[in-house]
């Protein structure tokens, strides 16, 4: 079951940083994260437009954790610094 969603682009350094934080630094299993590489998808532009309608964010990475919109990489890193990210990830890493 995927509890984290990351709309990404393969060439986006902020996406690389966000995915590196999740997978390398925080050891989130790949099985818990749905990563869509929008630039490789036929409907990627439409998905990005739909995300903008949902959360007002135009850029990637566009991150959700347990259905909660987190924002981009800068938002993710800020949550990490305050310790809130570890809290959000706790139930995901526990099972």
Which of residues 9 and 36 has its CB atom nearest to ligand GSH in the complex? 9
Q: Return d(Cα 92, Cα 2) in angstroms, integer.
A: 9
Q: Which two tokens stand for residue 49?
A: 């437009």
Which of residues 37 and 59 has its CB atom nearest to ligand GSH in the complex? 59
As measured in angstroms, the least distance from the Cβ of 69 to ligand GSH is 13
61 binds ligand GSH (CB under 6 A): yes
Q: Return d(Cα 88, Cα 86) in angstroms, integer.
A: 5
The only residue of 12, 22, 33, 89 in contact with ligand GSH, by rule CB under 6 A: 12
- List strands edge to edge, sheet with 4-8: 33-37, 4-8, 62-65, 68-71
19 binds ligand GSH (CB under 6 A): no
Q: Which two tokens stand for residue 79?
A: 């949550």
Chain positions contacting ligand GSH, by CB under 6 A: 9, 12-14, 59-61, 72-74
């Amino acid at each position: 079951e995927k509890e984290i969603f990351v709309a990404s682009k393969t060439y986006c350094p902020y996406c690389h940083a966000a995915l590196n934080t999740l997978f390398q630094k925080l050891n989130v299993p790949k099985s818990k994260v749905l990563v869509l590489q929008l630039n490789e998808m036929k409907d990627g532009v439409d998905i990005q437009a739909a995300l903008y309608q949902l959360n007002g964010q135009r850029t990637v990475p566009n991150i959700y954790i347990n259905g909660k919109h987190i924002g981009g990489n800068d938002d993710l890193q800020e949550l990490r610094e305050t310790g809130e990210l570890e809290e959000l990830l706790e139930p995901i890493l526990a099972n």
